[in-house]
Amino acid sequence: MTQRILEVNNLAYSFDTYAGEVQAVRGVSFHVDAGETLAIVGESGCGKTVSVQAILKLLPEPPGRLVGGSIRYLGEEISQHNPKKMSRLRGKEMSIIFQDPMTSLNPTMRIGKQIVEGIRKHERISRREGRARAIQMLGKVGIPSPERNMNRFPHQFSGGMRQRVMIAMALACKPRILFADEPTTALDVTTQAQILELMHALKQEFNASVVMITHDLSVVARVSQRIAVMYAGKIVETGNVRDIFYDPRHPYTWGLLQSVPHREGDRRQELIAIPGTPPDLFHPPAGCGFASRCRYCMGVCKQMEPPQTDLGNGHLVSCWLLDGRAPKTDTPPLAQRKGVQANG
């Protein structure tokens, strides 16, 4: 029985702005077990970054505000932790790497020191030992000549190198769970592949769980075991990789899968995009958030939020189409994947 590292239930987070309350996260639930990678997928503004940063309490409050929900780390409720308690968790138990490596590192501090200060906060080791650990970590993430490079400043490195430094910093204290917020979005494709490989290898070595936030489905397929699809502040479908790619049930998931250009597809065919834009989170719709963009929309979709249906094996879907009274709908052809290599 694998250990449940993180359990999030009905997390709701809002921002109080001058124009009113923005409900960025409206009831999100997911869990992460030991050694697995969960991918949270969704378009910009759906609330995936806010969810993760809210768990780590990294959002400025005001204007942010935890509206409700429970967050359990290794069984312990952490949603009400004060900053001091959180600082003991951050870096040591839970780490995060951010999207933009160009701005995520302190420009006036040498990278070695930035790694060492994190380690020495959580472990009682000497400065020399700290430096040795930092050099070791830099080596593990593939920075050449770590003894020399650790005395360099961030602006002397390329984007890909800086992201590696971020990874080294995040994993230095061997956390149990690593949150990666679009770690490769700002990098070119080749570097992207390298970073993903690196994260995969390190995850095995450190036996860590990973929560990978991304909007890129190709990334998802390679690295994760389970996927949570998020839209307008809620999770609309959760499942393991096979289920999501071979048996997707939510129209938004269908839309996402359809919009990925096929390598073997007809080149003359137009790219399929999901029409419309996400709803305004100042006034979230009463019913399903996706209703106005969904071609399968029914009357009930606009009135009431769909209940969650459990299809077994951890496959959860929130959609009225799964109600017995709804017309039978098949997965659209282009949303079906054949021969996708899911990562075990």
Partner 1 sequence: MGKYILRRLVISVLTLWLLATASFFLLRVLPGNPFQTEKLLTVEMQQKMIHYYGLDKPMLEQYVTYMGNLLHGDMGYSMKFTNRTVNSIITSGFPVSAALGLRALAVALPIGLFLGILSARKRGKAMDYLAVLVSVIGVSIPSFIMGTFLQYIFAVQLKILPIAQWKGEAYAILPTAALALALLASLTRVMRASMLEVTTQDYVKTARAKGLGEGRVVFFHQIRNALVPIVTMLGPMVASVLMGTFVIEKIFAIPGLGQHFVNSITGLDYTVTLGLTIFYGAFLVAANFLVDIAYGLVDPRIRIAK
Partner 2 sequence: MRNETIQLPEAAFVPIGLTLSDAESISRPSITFWADVRRRLLKNKVAMLGLWLILLMTLFAIVAPIVSPFSYSYQDLAIINQGPSAAHWFGTDSLGRDIWVRVWVGARVSLAVGIFGSVIPSLLGIIIGGISGYFGGKIDMLIMRFIDIVMCIPGMIYVILIMLYVGSGPVAIVLAFALTGWMGTARSVRGLVLQLKEREFVLASRALGASHMRLIFDHLVPNTLGIVVVSMTMGVPSAIFQEAYLSFIGLGIAPPIPSWGQLANAGVALFRVFPSQLFIPAILISLTMLSFNLFGDGLRDALDPRLRM
Summarize as ranges the residues that interact with partner 2 (CB under 8 A): 17-19, 275-277, 280, 282-283, 291-300, 302-304, 307, 309-311, 320, 322-327
Structure tokens at 63: 């204007």
In angstroms, the CA 111 to CA 101 distance is 13
Contact of residue 196 among partner 1, partner 2, none (CB under 5-8 Å per partner type)? none
Residue 87 Cβ vs partner 1, minimum distance, rounded to whole Å: 5
The interface partner of residue 205, options being partner 2, partner 1, none and the CB cut-off 5 to 8 Å by kind, is: none
Conformation bin of residue 111: beta by default, left when phi > 0, alpha when psi is -120 to 50: alpha
In angstroms, rounded to a whole number, what is the distance separating the alpha carbons of residues 11 and 146? 41
Q: By C-beta, is 79 or 87 nearer to partner 1? A: 87
DSSP state letters, 12-64: EEEEEETTEEEEEEEEEEEEEETT-EEEEE--TTSSHHHHHHHHTT-S-TTTE
Q: Residue 283: name its binding partner from partner 2, partner 1, none (Cβ under 5 to 8 Å by kind).
A: partner 2
Q: Within 136-195, which residues bind partner 1 (CB under 8 A)?
A: 153, 155-156, 166, 169-170
Q: Which helix (H) or strand (E) holds 66?
A: strand 64-73
Shortest CB 93 distance to partner 1, Å: 9
To the nearest 10°, report the CA torsion of 75, 234, 55, 57: -150
Q: In what order do the strands lie in the sheet with 4-17?
A: 20-33, 4-17, 64-73, 76-77
**89 contact, one of partner 2, partner 1, none, CB 5-8 Å limit per kind:** partner 1
Measured from the CB atom, is 29 or 292 closer to partner 2?
292
Shortest distance (Å) from residue 278 CB to partner 2: 9
34-73 residues in contact with partner 1 (CB under 8 A) are: 56, 58
The residues, any chain, with a CB within 8 Å of residue 257's CB and separated by 6 or more, are: 217, 245, 248, 334, 335, 336, 337
Of 11 and 172, the one with the shorter C-beta distance to partner 1 is 172
Q: Does residue 98 belong to the site contacting partner 1 (CB under 8 A)?
A: yes
Mutual angle of helices 189-206 and 159-171, in 10-degree steps: 10
Residue 198 φ then ψ, to 5°: -60, -45
Residue of 63, 121, 265, 303 that binds partner 1 (CB under 8 A):
121
Residue from 54, 96, 137, 196 touching partner 1 (CB under 8 A): that is: 96
How many residues in the shown chain lie near partner 1 by CB under 8 A? 30
- Residues engaged in binding partner 1 (CB under 8 A): 56, 58, 83, 87-92, 95-96, 98, 100, 103-109, 117-118, 121-122, 153, 155-156, 166, 169-170
